[in-house]
Amino acid sequence: MPTSPPPPPPVSPAPAAPQRRVGLRAGMAWTLLGQGAYAAAQWATVALLARLGSPEAVGQYTLGLGLVNPLFLLLGLQLRSVQATDAGEARPFGEYFSLRALTMLLLLLVTVGLAALYPQVAGVVLWLGLAKALEGLSDVTYGLMQRQERLDWVSRSGLLRGVLGLGLLAALFAATGSVTLGAAGIAAAGLAVLVFHDLPLARRLAPGGWWTRHIPADLPRLALPLGLVMGLVSFGTTLPRLFLEHAHGSAAVGVFSALSHVTAAGSIVVVALGTALTTRLSQLFAAGERAGFVRLTLGLTGAAALFGAGLMLLALVAGGPLLGLLYGPDYAAEGRAFVWLTLGGALSYLASCAGFAVTAARRFREQLPLFGAVTVILALACAWLIPPHGVIGAAYAGLIGAGAQLVGSGLIVAGALRAGPAASASPPGDL
């Protein structure tokens, strides 16, 4: 009697197909392109608001961004860096994605309360909060891409987000004069890039389900110190704006933010190089290759020093005319403050290089007391210098904060090198 054939075995999710890796040099080039385009779009947003609007419009946008950014970085837990330095790929991507989705939902809830506290920029805060939540979901896919050395995908995403966000903000602000509607355009750009670019590419690297309710407790404990650190770093950029808003009004915030965006745009070179080198630095450190780790870190630091010196020279020689060309006559008189801002920017570039080395060595917790101290020093400097001196006082305060960060980060790197890889990695556990 014939028997029916046995049922076919259950089909398991297909493994991820092998992906072409772009390599270190190409990764740095792609990162520089993508982050450069994104940072240029951020600067162009401020320039556009200054040209089409007023210092008050610039102040509303940058104050809203300054309020949302620290929360975004704090709740983001820097999971991208944790993924990129996980040389053994010990955790599945679903744990990172699920944790980030939960923290971005919390970000949206906190943003509603923040909008109530600052009704003058409530609409801007709400739309930028949504934009940052969407960016957070994209960012966790960047960690997956970075670990697989597909920085070309990451850079393309940043370029698309920057250009599309700038275009929508420009169109909406030009048509309506509303900073709030312009911020809504940035959120719409973030949604489009996430849905049509980032998620499909991430699926190629990590097929299967991403959502899990069982997130190991040691993952948020491991990442929380770095999230707190990045939140403090971002809060440090917001502090001068809050003191200026209180003492001198939104116009002063707009002027300071416009000047600061030039030095912030300069940081794209350092951030691009550091981002591309983080995975390689972590591999060298984990392997105990101290000489290679030091050599790569010093190379990054030297490039940052040259770039910072060039920007300072530009500010000394042609600061006032450059500001007038970029933003208009309301800003051309701030050449002296611009010089001090570029000096603080140069120190912050060097501190960022040390920060990348600290992260590559996975010294996450050691950064928390450092940036707590830096934030306190910066707040005291702002309280002392901004009320009597305005925008140039904010530049002085930023210089003091950057100097403190550079010294502290350098000491942590030195300690990590003395301790070695086994003792330097921050183990899971309570803070």
For 395-431, the pLDDT digits (tens) are 899 889 988 988 888 888 888 887 766 554 444 333 3
Q: What angle, rounded to 10 degrees, do the helices at 250-286 and 218-248 form? A: 160
**Band of residue 3 on the pLDDT scale cut at 50, 70, 90:** very low
Query: Radius of gyration of the chain from Cα atoms?
Result: 22
pLDDT of residue 190: 92
Angle between helices 335-360 and 250-286 (to 10 degrees): 30
The model's pLDDT over 276-289, given as tens digits with 9 standing for 90+, comes to 777 778 878 877 77
pLDDT band (50, 70, 90) for residue 188: very high
Taking the model in full, what pTM does it have? 0.66
What value does the mean pLDDT take over residues 361-377? 82
Mean pLDDT of the region 368-384 = 89
Q: Tell me: the pLDDT tens digits for 196-248? A: 999 898 888 877 777 777 777 777 777 777 778 777 877 887 788 888 877 88
DSSP summary character for residue 208: S
Which of 23, 102, 114 is CA-nearest to residue 71?
Answer: 114
**Cα gap 223→141, rounded to integer Å:** 16
